Every structure is written in C-alpha cells, then in structure tokens.
Amino acid sequence: MTPEELSHQLRRGTGEHLRRRRAVVAWSLLGATAMGPIVLYQMGLIRHLPEPPLPGLDADKVDASGEAYALLQTPDAVLGIGSYALTMGLAAAGSATRVTERPWLPLALAGKVAIDVAVAAKLTVDQWTKHRAFYFWCLVGAGASFASAPLVVPEARAALQGMRS
C-alpha cells in the first residue's frame, strides 16, 4: 500500500475496527490535552492549577507531591503526554486491514491500553489513599484511558483468531 492509499484509507475508510481506532485516537488526544495544564503547573509556568470547585478536588496538593516527580525525575504529566502519544501512534499505525496484515499492531495496542488502564487506576487510587484528594485533569485522563479499553478488544480478538487459523 502506498502512503497516498494509506492516507485515503485512514481518512475516508470505513469499518468497525477503523471506527474504533479513530475513537482511541480521540480519547488519547483528550487525555494528552488534559495533561497540558498539569505540565504548566509542574514546570512552574502557572502557580495554581485551575479545576472545578467541587469537593474532594485539590490538584495543587496532588500534582506538587513528590510522587508526581519520582519516575525518571520528570514531572509525571510530561510522561503522560508521551504515553498518550504512543497509544495514539499504535491506534493510527497500519491500514484498515492491519488485523490480517500486521496482527501484532492490534495486539500491541490492546497491551498498551491495558497498561494505560492499570496505571490510571493505580494513580486514581493513590490520589485518594495518599492525599485524600483527586484532581480534575487526571480524572479526565483516566476516563480517556478507561473509555479506550473496550474499543481495542474486538480488533485484538480478531487478530488473535486470525493468527490461530
């Protein structure tokens, strides 16, 4: 397939797997976008992280914690943007028929989304158990990860079935 054919197929193609892949890209883009304000705060570009005035939310407390800077001595929201970009890349890679041509792509995407969901769940639990607070932007990102999970299952299942036959 030429790059021009792939371009047309990804933009104009139809089919349930492609529709779900597009949704994963959209959810991942939302998750990455939600990390933007957190990066601004964690890097000192803004002094306060705005969020809705709801009980139980305290972004400043959670995002300034040591845990938010522990992995690779990097603000975790920066790593989050990179993670969402990788998920988008796996969802976008390959043609509409990648399930038969490159079945490892749907399987890699399903594995990555499973990791995303596990990390999102852990961070959400940690927010409450360690800080007794949540933060809005991370909940948006976690929701995006959770929303992607059921979308990747059908294509991964089809890839596995194709590999077995």
* Alpha-carbon gap, residue 101 to 109, rounded angstroms: 15
* CATH, residue 81: 1.20.1440.130
Amino acid sitting at position 71: L
Domain residue limits at 56: 3-164
Give residue for tokens 């988008």.
Answer: 88
* Alpha-carbon gap, residue 73 to 79, rounded angstroms: 10
Residues 53-88 pLDDT 10s: 999 998 888 888 888 899 899 999 999 999 999 999
Structural domains of the chain, count: 1
In this predicted structure, what is the pLDDT of residue 135? 87
Tokens of 94: 């390959």
* Alpha-carbon gap, residue 25 to 88, rounded angstroms: 5
Tokens of 11: 């933009």
> Can you state the angle between helices 104-131 and 16-42, rounded to 10 degrees?
40
* Alpha-carbon gap, residue 88 to 116, rounded angstroms: 12
Residues 98-128 pLDDT 10s: 999 999 999 999 999 999 999 999 999 998 9
In this predicted structure, what is the pLDDT of residue 65? 84
Helical residues (DSSP H) of 2-103, grouped into ranges: 3-12, 16-42, 59-63, 76-92, 98-101
